[in-house]
Chain A
Amino acid sequence: MSTMQEVLVTSDAAGQQWNSSIWDPVAGTSLLTFKGSTSAPHTLSILNNEYILGALPTKSVIQVWSLQKTDNTQMQIVCPGRVTSLTTTPDGNYCIAAVSENIHIWQVCTGHLLTVLSRHYQQIKCIKCTDDGTCFVTAGDDNLVIAWNLAKVLADCGNPSHQVEPDHVWSHHSLPVTDLFIGSGGNRARVVSSSLDQTCKMYDLVSGDLLCNLVFDVSITSVTMDTAEYRLFAGGSNGVIHCIDMFEMPVQKERHIEKESEDITCFEGHKKQVTCLCVSINGGKLISGSDDCNVKIWDVFSGQCTKTLDHKGMLTNVFLIPTPPALLDLNTPRNCIIKPFQRHLYIPGEQTDESDGTVTMMFNHSEKMESVVDYMSDVSSYLSQITEISDPEEELAKCKEEIAMLKSANHKLFQFAAKGILHQEEQIT
């Protein structure tokens, strides 16, 4: 189990056995299931590698489960309306949810409703966040794809007169948008949207240019790309997954006609529309979920279906996540705090109910530090290989010393600043 790089998360519309389940995509076995009702499409989301969030399709409730096996508690958060799409920022600080045509953003650790954005005219179908959490993109039934900058959106929250303008509004689609994909690269990523108008469109997030328009012969209900963005996969409403290469072959001087191209143009196997698509981190496996109640795992290069996971209902969410530490190690400390989401807009400075103005936050220091140390040891070993530096252990020790020194300096700085500020305040008073 420790070899598992990624785990697969699925949920279906029937919810007979479970609401959602975590699978080992290699073995095809279920690792963990979460019970209770069902989750609406595009609403299942992982929060800070510790929780899993899903919105009910019929009620205005978000369900929260812990990813730790031992913890069976389930939390229900009531929302202002039925949530049609939901996502969380990668750092786990904010939860972005669409309630019909409005976007609500909550701060997870306090439950404050920071802002409500209304720019869409009809129901929002999909919200996706960039990998660094700086931007998020929304798409809906009104054919619009809108890119927002999270910092800009939250900059002046609590000020009702403050109008937030999105970074980009793309209105190229002519029928409802069904799915979104954001590539890697933070705010320089590329965004792909798929729509019922039989096209996928690729945008440049930083400039807002429409990069290309891919036309298919059926409506496209889901879209994804591999990690390196070499291939684009578009799931059609007839169950065919189309593949487009996002690279161009070098011009060859000689062309041998008899040589058959072995590249794959489509994956056929689903009988009904493909609603969810994702690609494994190495780009070798494509995982698709369809209305025909099957999740299929495909080999990207040969186009073969290697595994089929049967479900009881139409698939609503299928995605891969890096294996959360909580899943492997039961003793992983908890860092994330979830407070019930508030229904009223948070106004800074205003004291609400029992909270005394303090915010409880926990930082995963220990984990971060460890990872730094690991990294350093990696680097030093690498260096020692090249330049034959005496002892990696010694180097490591040095680095640790350095870090300790930096920490103490940092602490001193903080002390000094705090003292200064306090002193100033005293003087004023």
Chain B
Amino acid sequence: MPKSRKTRNSKKDFQKVKFKVGKKIQKADNVTNISFHTRTIQVTQKIKTATATEPSSKRKLNAGELLNQFQHYSTTTRNDAVMGLRELLTLHPEAITQNLVTVIERTAQLFVDKDPVVRQSNIKLLKVLFKGVSDKYISPFFHIIGIHLCCAMTHIFEDIQSDSLQILDLLLDHFPRLVITNSNQILPNFIEQISRQRLGSKSSSSALSINPNLKMASHKWRAKVLTRLHKLLSAILENDTDASGKTSIVFVNQGIKSVTWEKDVITQIQPWPKHFISRWQQPAFVQRLQVNTVSQKNPGVSLSDEPGLKRFVQLIIPLLIECWIESSSIGAFTGKGLNALVTADSLPLRTSVVNVIQLLCQYVIKKYPSSMTYVAVDRSMENQCDESDNHLNIQNKIQKGWLRKNYFTDLKNHLMKDFPYSVHVAAKKKEKLDNQSMPDAVCNLNVAVCDIMTHFLSGEEDVKDKWEITVVKYLEDVISQNSQDRQRTRVVIEIINRLVRYSKTINVDSVVGVMIQKYKRSHPLSSDKKLLFNFFAGIVLHQEYKQKVGSDIIDTFMNSLPDLFIDMVSNNQEMANHILRVMKTAACQNCWILLQQLNKFICKTAENGDILKIDLHSQKSLLELVFYVPQLQKSSLKLYANLVRNEVFPIQSALYILQIIHHRYSKLDHTPNGDAEYISLMMSVLLGATDGEKEDRNGCEINEAAANSFLTESKQWERTLVLSEAVSSHLTQYGDKEQMIQILSGFLQKLDSSYTDSNLISLMVLSKQMEFYNYPVTSTLTGSLVPHFWAFCKKIIATRNILLNDSLDEFKNGCTSVLQKMVESVCCMENGLCLLVKILKETLHDKKANHLELKKVCQTGSLWICHYDHWIDRLKTPAHVIPEISTTVSLIQKSYPELREQQWWSDFSFLVSRLKI
């Protein structure tokens, strides 16, 4: 039988393969090739479908898709979606507003997500989201957030509860206003986190709850919740700051339309009261929907209306007091007196309890000040009223004092029992680091307790309470310590402020004395100084409170002001302005101590140039102080004059101080002596130093050098012009005009006749305004001035300064008219024609004389001659003058033949030829 193929094959199959050393084993056919390397491939992006215009995350998912995944059953997907949306929103903030509805709905749902990771990333998403959205956009959806937040806060899982606090934090950071308006929704649930309603009793009372399953110690948890409450209240208070001006002195209103009147410009203004304007600015009728989560029979608590607030206070204060009692037992010290020791464990809870009460007091008082008022029973009032009125009255009274009535004794008993608190350093914990900060924290706690208690001071007239003395004593200690804590100092000062204002029984002298010491000691630039300054300014300037502090304190404070201002000028402008305002108010109130120093102070600022450092507005208010200086001295007047003439000094301020001095003298010091001082001041402003002292002379020479070149300097020119106009107008208004002119002419004649250009300008303006030429008294003065003016006129006409063109032209016209008038008046005084001859001769000799100049001369000359005709009967002119004129005229004509064609020249020569003796 032949061997079957099968057997042959099978043999082959089972043939033993011999392996030899050194030869590689042949691999079997079916061996898997493992020579390749593997790497994981992550498909991080979709190969995308969406259009490029739509913003999408890295994974090319757009917002809609991401939001869909928010509800995915898998936690990873949800988490990814949340992260993706966060990324999307950071990259494309504009995408937020497009999808706000869905974004908010979906994110809100995740508040109660079971997975902690998702919740955490959701919070991160919210951070981004809230940053990019304004109050206005979120407000329509806020109730959704609120409802979900409430869900989270009341959730049975405590980690969801604790995460909900983080969300609340975020909301408070970004939308405090909305949280306040929706407080009736959030607050009750919030409080329930640490309490539970007492079973069987009325709904308004509740007790602290203890959950033994909590991971955290219950007092820590409470502290945590109370910190949030504290935050909420402080957010409310911050947002309300504009609502009521708690500051004692409101100096300047911002945002008031200020309209400046200008000549020849029609000024139109339509003023409206603020409440009108606010109606325009938000014309829509907005009614906030109050979503009341609590059923009708159990009215909710809220922070925005009084009954709600009252209920809230009713709910929270007992709880807080319970917390306080509990916290005192934490340190395991029981027994009398030992409560005063605060351990590190109980400190956070105590602090937050006290802080919450503190803020609550502040808020309630701010909103409803009547809640604190002490209601004395007034029999006589009640008798007078009708029955219905009486009923109303009583109701009013009950409402008025509710806060004080209900809680004052409770708070006093608990908080003040062991006051002041001190640190207890537990022996075991000595090595802990935070021991350092303990005394500070306890100190803050004590101060906060003081703050709460002093809120209950207002207007009480009954017997001195022991606690008040303790508080005052403690505060004294706190101030005298050198603490760096600014916040604490602020609170302490507030408390003392309240003490001074409201307490009728406590003697505050010693505390205020300590404060003034501290005020004196502290560095001018420190914040303490500023706080204390504000405190004293508020007290000292108030009519009533002023009497409560000793006069020596007021004196010390007032005495410190001038020096403080000088310190502040270069460092802190704002503060300097504030000081100025305080000084001015004090000056208005006739504060004698300040008034005595005022003159010295103003002179000092003017001398050392401080006055140039401050802005225009404060300069004005500084100068206004001049009005209140009791006795203006000559030396200081000289200083003011120098100041006004100083080119660096702004012209507006210069004019202002002139005006102030003018009013000052025309009102108060209208005595011969005062008049003399006033005139000499005005003249020294006008003409520079006039009293002929040598030192001043030296200064004057330098000035002269400048003054002669000033025709080319527009600034100086304008300044001189404006100043002299102001001075002249003041002089015309001061007293009787004729007398004034007499005095002035006497004054001017005494001066030597070397006028500088600027002096001439001033004199020109002065004579224009005062109309010197109309008064016979001044004839000699006018006579002596005319040649000077003449020369000056020529100079001006010759000057061509492009910068000055307009004002110069105007001035030229003014000059010629004044000159004409003066000449007219002089002409009547006989020597007019002689003058004309002299001037004509001058022009002849002056080779450079141009036509324009000659024209002016001739025009004036024609006028003169006309007048001469008019006056000829009365006056005797030297006979030689008239021939002299005609010869000169002919001479001029010879040297300038081209003049013949000019009309004015022919007119003039005609007149001259007609001139008869």
Contact = CB atoms under 8 A, between A and B. Distances in A.
Contact of B269 (A122, A212, A218, A263): A212
A246 B732 CA distance: 32
A212 B259 contact: yes
A89 to B, nearest CB: 25
A261 B268 CA distance: 13
Contact of A215 (B258, B543, B624): B258
B643 to A, nearest CB: 19
Contact of B273 (A207, A218, A234, A271): A207
Interface string B252-294: 1100111111111111111111110000000000000000000
B470 interface: no
Nearest to B581: A174
A263 B266 contact: yes
A341 B273 CA distance: 40
Interface string A217-228: 111000000000
B329 interface: no
B624 A175 contact: yes
A207 B259 CA distance: 21
B584 interface: yes
Nearest to B252: A172
A18 to B, nearest CB: 22
Nearest to A273: B733
Contacts of B627: 175-176, 196
B274 A244 contact: no
B715 interface: no
A219 B584 CA distance: 18
A234 B262 CA distance: 13
B621 interface: yes
A142 B620 CA distance: 17
B262 to A, nearest CB: 8
Interface in A97-126: 119, 121-122
Contacts of B659: 196, 198, 218-219, 237
Interface stretch (B585-593, B812-820, B832-840): B585-593
B651 to A, nearest CB: 12
B359 to A, nearest CB: 29
B827 to A, nearest CB: 26
Contacts of B732: 271-272
B251 interface: yes
B266 A212 contact: no
Contacts of B660: 175, 196
A265 B663 contact: no
Interface string A388-415: 0000000000000000000000000000
B733 A239 contact: yes
B244 to A, nearest CB: 14
Interface in B481-531: none
B590 A238 contact: no
Interface in A270-313: 271-273, 291
A353 interface: no
Interface string A121-146: 11000000000000000000111100
A172 B266 contact: no
Contact of A196 (B260, B267, B663): B663
B729 interface: yes
A110 B660 CA distance: 44
A173 to B, nearest CB: 10
A242 interface: yes
A246 B620 contact: no
A215 B260 contact: yes
Contact of A197 (B261, B624, B733): B624
Contact of A219 (B264, B620, B663): B663
B426 to A, nearest CB: 54
Nearest to B259: A214
Contacts of B249: 171
Contacts of A211: 256-257, 271-273
Contacts of A375: none
A234 B271 CA distance: 17
Q: Which of B251, B267, B268 has the most CB of A within 10 A?
A: B267
**Dominant SS at the B interface?**
mixed
Q: Which of B273, B274, B584, B729 has the most CB of A within 10 A?
A: B273
Given A210-B256, A273-B733, A265 B263 contact: yes
B461 to A, nearest CB: 12
Nearest to B732: A271
A119 B589 CA distance: 10
Nearest to A143: B588
A142 B589 contact: yes
Q: Which of A211, A216, A219 has the most CB of B within 10 A?
A: A211
B261 A244 contact: yes
A246 B253 contact: no
Contacts of B270: 246-248
B620 to A, nearest CB: 7
A414 B540 CA distance: 55
Contacts of A172: 252-253
B266 A214 contact: no
Contact of B258 (A212, A244, A245, A265): A212
A119 B252 CA distance: 20
Interface in B533-565: 543
A6 interface: no
B261 A216 contact: yes
Q: Which of A141, A174, A214, A216 has the most CB of B within 10 A?
A: A174
A378 interface: no
A249 interface: yes
B64 to A, nearest CB: 46
A24 interface: no
Given A204-B273, A271-B732, A174 B584 contact: yes
Contacts of B543: 119
A91 interface: no
A266 interface: yes
A246 B273 contact: no
Contacts of A198: 656, 659
B274 A207 contact: yes
Interface string B728-743: 0100110001000000
A174 B621 contact: yes
A17 interface: no
B261 A215 contact: yes
Contacts of A143: 584, 588
Given A214-B269, A245-B266, A121 B589 contact: yes
A272 B733 contact: yes
Nearest to B277: A209
Contacts of A213: 256-259
B752 to A, nearest CB: 32
A316 B503 CA distance: 48
A207 B275 contact: yes
A202 interface: yes
Contact of B268 (A142, A238, A249): A249
A209 B258 contact: no
Interface string B707-733: 000000000000000000000010011
Contacts of B584: 143, 174
29 contacts: A121-B588, A142-B588, A142-B589, A143-B588, A144-B588, A175-B624, A175-B660, A175-B663, A207-B275, A209-B275, A211-B272, A213-B257, A213-B258, A214-B259, A214-B269, A218-B659, A219-B659, A234-B261, A238-B729, A245-B269, A246-B269, A246-B270, A248-B268, A249-B268, A265-B261, A265-B264, A271-B733, A272-B732, A273-B733
Interface of A: 119, 121-122, 141-144, 171-172, 174-176, 190, 196-198, 202, 204, 206-207, 209-219, 234, 237-239, 242, 244-249, 261, 263, 265-266, 271-273, 291
Given A207-B275, A209-B273, A213-B256, 5 more contacts: A171-B251, A174-B624, A214-B259, A216-B261, A244-B268
Instruction: Return the 3 tightest CB-CB contacts between A and B, nearest first.
Output: A211-B271, A212-B271, A121-B589
Interface of B: 249, 251-253, 256-275, 543, 584-585, 588-590, 620-621, 624, 627, 656, 659-660, 662-663, 729, 732-733, 737
